[in-house]
A = this chain, B = another copy of it.
């Protein structure tokens, strides 16, 4: 489910008013910020409801998508590199790629395995590690689910022209960059420099 967010955003005049008491409050910054949170939450909610109708959570879906890359060697071949395919396989890699803790990934894999979407297999070399792979059922689920998922996304964004989408991505990327500057992560910052 989406985060708790105020349903009706404060009006711009109210922000101006509040700024008189709080000099730190930048009205246009706050307005943009609130719209960003609200819209992001709305977009999240749409896919989340879509996923919920299929009995799967956003977290589980993310894991399936990560694993799904590994069974799509065609793209890798065409790209002439491993940039797109050969995704993560072990719980630790999956947790890192998904941005959750290993403990959370254990829980996600637990439920996915219980529902038959993925399967754990011990690594023959390093006995500490497990290898997680998509089952036929998991692949089938994605094949059935993804078209509707992509369609929902395309419909949501259909209100923006190509150039508007480019502008949006550019502005959001600037914010992301700024967030990275303001909140430098402990390590591995340089590794994933998605602009």
Chain A positions near chain B (C-beta within 8 angstroms): 2-11, 13-14, 17-18, 21-22, 24-26, 28-33, 35-46, 49, 58-59, 62, 65-66, 72, 74-75, 78-79, 83-84, 96-100, 104, 146-148, 150-160, 162, 164-169, 171-179, 182-183, 192, 194
Contacts and interface: CB of A to CB of B under 8 A. Distances in A.
A191 to B, nearest CB: 9
B4 A98 contact: yes
A167 B167 CA distance: 9
Q: Which of A2, A25, A58 has the largest number of chain B CB atoms within 10 A?
A: A25
25 contacts: A4-B58, A4-B104, A6-B62, A7-B192, A8-B97, A14-B79, A14-B84, A21-B74, A28-B157, A28-B166, A29-B158, A29-B165, A33-B156, A33-B157, A35-B172, A39-B172, A39-B173, A39-B176, A40-B43, A40-B44, A42-B176, A45-B183, A46-B179, A156-B182, A164-B174
A22 to B, nearest CB: 6
Q: How many copies does the complex hold?
A: 2
Contacts of A151: 24
Contact of A169 (B35, B42, B44, B152): B35
Contacts of A162: 28
Nearest to A8: B192
Given A8-B192, A31-B165, A35-B169, 13 more contacts: A3-B3, A5-B99, A7-B96, A13-B84, A14-B84, A17-B79, A29-B153, A36-B168, A38-B176, A45-B179, A49-B183, A152-B182, A164-B174
